[in-house]
Each structure stands twice: as C-alpha cells, then as structure tokens.
C-alpha cells in the first residue's frame, strides 16, 4: 500500500496527532479526509489539501459519512487529555467507545480495506506500575486486565473490538498502544495538556513573569517515557502497513522522572526554579515505560528521538505561541 495513492480517513484529524498524521499522508501522496467533532477554527492544524468534515463520530450516521469511499481509516478520535483530565472525566472518556464501535461498523459496511486504532499505554495493569523503577511494559502485561479506570478500560475494550471485527468480518485492523506523545501543535494549557507541554508552559511562564517557581504534581519521582511526534507518525505508518495484527507498543523506552523532565526544560530555557510539590494533584501510576523488544523484532525500528531534542522543539514552539512570535517547526516525513 505504501507509495500508492489511497483514499484515507483520519478520524480525530483536528487533534494533535491527527493533524500531523494528515500532513504526513498528504506528503506521501494520499487523498485525505479528516473528521473531528471540534469546530474547524479549533483544529490544531487545518490542511487546504484535505477534505475537512466537522462530525460527531459517536453518531453512526456521521461515522458512515466519514468512511464513505475510503480505502483506509485511522481512528485517533477520543475525548481525552492529560492526567488532570482523564482522572476527573472517566465517563466522558468511556463514551469514546461509541466512536470506535460506529467507525468499525461503518468501515465494515463500506468495504474499508484496513483500519488503524490508536490505543494507549493506559491499558496496562496497574499492579505492574506501582514503582518508579518500573519494569518496562510488554504487550502481554495488559492481561489479566486492570487498566486505568475509565480511559484505560475504554481503550482495552476497543482493542478487543478491533480483533473481533478482523476475526468475524475480515476487516484488517492494526492497533498501536501510544506512550505519552508530545511535540509542537499540541495542547499546552486549558486542562487537557500532558506533562511535557504543561512543564514547558510552567517554566516559560515563570521565566516571563520573574516568579522563578514551579508547581509539580506529586513528588516528582514518578517516571514515564515520552515519544516525540515524528516517531509517533513514523510508527503509525510502519504498523499500518505491516502484518502485525495484535496490539503493539509505540513509545520511547527512555525512562525519565518528572523531576528530571523539569531539569531538561530548565536547561533549555536557561533558568532554575524553586519547586513546589502538590501531593494532592492527579499523578497517575507511579512508573510506566515501553518495552520495545517486539517492535524492534518485527519492524527493525523503534522511536529514537532523544528527549532533550524533542523537548527543545516543543519548548521553542510553546514559547513562540505564548509570546506571539514566529512559526512552528515542521517535522520531516518518517
């Protein structure tokens, strides 16, 4: 399929990852349709070469409209955000199951050849993520099931739906478990932002205001891995065009504490801040990292952008947005 002109749907095309994926698919010569529930002026990126549709994909009629005439569908659509959002909007996150349900039905009926589902590392069992010195999570660690409440359960259920639509109806599905994607053109304020963008915003605010302090959620010792957007888009393309039918990790294996992530952004910004820890703020699991043995074995590839490199690009874009200067960097097609 790669290299052929294909009619492709990007569900959630008005979002952070969807906007970059649409850009990449255009560069590869595909005919792209984006669908998103947000008004067009709230989309993270709007591409003139794309058919852009404002649709509520929780509605079956809208899902049918979105997939009509498409050869491939990428489902990145979900009501989600960072830990501050998903811990306080569990029902809203679970309602995203309607999007995947109706898109799968519509894709089956429309004869879509291949369907990609964006899952999450939140599907992994909580009892395997209780230590900051976490053992990297392997694909089989999703079972016995004990995912993140709300958001994680929806993702795990939707993974199984993809599997059974492939088994029962012959719809070729591909599933990637994203681990904390970040980069330019992402949310950095308003409550849905994730840690890399939130920390960039806080450091930039402290530098601009001269307050020289920063609030950190939890004790800062919790650990994560963070994947730069270029690697995410490259991984989506590889997985979609592979023979990998089971869910697979798509994330960086560079484990870092939140305290060290703050260190990195301080180094980029050229400041040192006083840290105020908020133990009552949402903080998620104690530790989470991606085991990339399977993706290396099956694809001979894994996300490789160093955190310092990706965070510098992300910080610089957020700084430009907060100060009203310049234009964002554009990642190369992977």
pLDDT digits (tens, 9 = 90+) for 298-325: 999 999 999 999 999 999 999 999 998 6
Total structural domains within the chain: 1
**Is residue 274 assigned to a domain?**
no
**Is residue 157 assigned to a domain?**
yes
**Is residue 319 assigned to a domain?**
no
- Measured CA to CA, the distance from residue 99 to residue 73 in angstroms comes to 13
- What amino acid positions are annotated as catalytic residues? 151
pLDDT at position 330: 46
Burial class (CB in 10 A: 0-12, 13-18, 19+), 213: exposed
**Is residue 234 assigned to a domain?**
yes
Give the CATH number of the domain where residue 24 resides: 3.40.50.720
Single pTM value for the model: 0.92
- Contact yes or no for 85/106 (Cβ under 8 A): no
Copy the structure tokens of residue 110: 């429309």
Structural domain for 18, as ranges:
7-181+229-253+289-305
**Is residue 276 assigned to a domain?**
no
Length of the chain as a residue count: 334
**Is residue 269 assigned to a domain?**
no
pLDDT at position 224: 96
Instruction: Verify cis geometry, omega within 30 degrees of 0, for the bond prior to 37.
Output: no
- Measured CA to CA, the distance from residue 245 to residue 166 in angstroms comes to 9
pLDDT at position 80: 66
- Measured CA to CA, the distance from residue 12 to residue 15 in angstroms comes to 6
Burial class (CB in 10 A: 0-12, 13-18, 19+), 62: buried
CA distances from 78 to 14, 84, 100, 155 (A): 11, 16, 9, 10
**Is residue 264 assigned to a domain?**
no
pLDDT at position 86: 66
Inter-axis angle of helices 97-110 and 60-67, nearest 10: 50
Question: Which residues of the chain register pLDDT less than 50?
Answer: 1-3, 326-334
**Is residue 21 assigned to a domain?**
yes
What strand order describes the sheet that includes 7-11? Answer: 51-54, 31-36, 7-11, 72-75, 114-120, 172-178, 248-250
pLDDT at position 2: 43
Beta bridge partners of 240: none
- Contact yes or no for 271/240 (Cβ under 8 A): no
């Amino acid at each position: 399929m790669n290299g052929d002109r294909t009619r492709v749907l990007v569900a959630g095309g008005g979002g952070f990852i969807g906007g970059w994926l649409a850009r990449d698919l255009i560069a590869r010569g595909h005919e792209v349709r984006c669908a998103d529930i947000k008004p067009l002026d709230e989309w993270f990126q709007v591409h003139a070469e794309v058919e852009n549709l404002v649709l509520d994909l929780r509605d079956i009629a809208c899902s049918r409209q979105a997939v009509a005439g498409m050869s491939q569908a990428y489902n990145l659509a979900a009501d989600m955000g960072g830990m501050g959002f998903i811990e306080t909007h569990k029902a809203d996150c679970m309602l995203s199951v309607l999007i995947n349900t109706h898109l799968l039905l519509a894709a089956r009926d429309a004869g879509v050849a291949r369907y990609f589902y964006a899952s999450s590392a939140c599907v992994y069992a909580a009892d395997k993520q209780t230590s900051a010195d976490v053992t990297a999570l392997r694909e089989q660690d999703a079972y016995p099931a004990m995912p993140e409440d709300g958001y994680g359960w929806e993702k795990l259920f939707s993974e199984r739906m993809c599997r059974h639509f492939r088994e029962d109806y012959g719809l070729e599905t591909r599933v990637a478990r994203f681990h904390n994607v970040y980069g330019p053109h992402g949310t950095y304020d308003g409550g849905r932002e994730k840690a890399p963008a939130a920390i960039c915003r806080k450091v930039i605010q402290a530098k601009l205001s001269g307050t020289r302090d920063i609030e950190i959620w939890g004790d800062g010792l919790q650990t994560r891995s963070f994947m730069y957007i270029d690697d995410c888009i490259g991984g989506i393309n590889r997985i979609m065009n592979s023979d990998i039918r089971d869910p697979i990790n798509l994330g960086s294996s560079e484990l870092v504490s939140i305290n060290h992530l703050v260190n990195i952004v301080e180094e980029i910004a050229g400041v040192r801040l006083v840290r105020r820890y908020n133990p009552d703020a949402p903080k998620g699991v104690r530790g989470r990292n991606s085991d990339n043995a399977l993706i290396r074995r099956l694809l001979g590839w894994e996300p490789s952008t160093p955190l310092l490199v990706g965070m510098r690009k992300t910080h610089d874009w957020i700084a430009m947005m907060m100060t009203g200067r310049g234009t964002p960097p554009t990642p190369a097609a992977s």
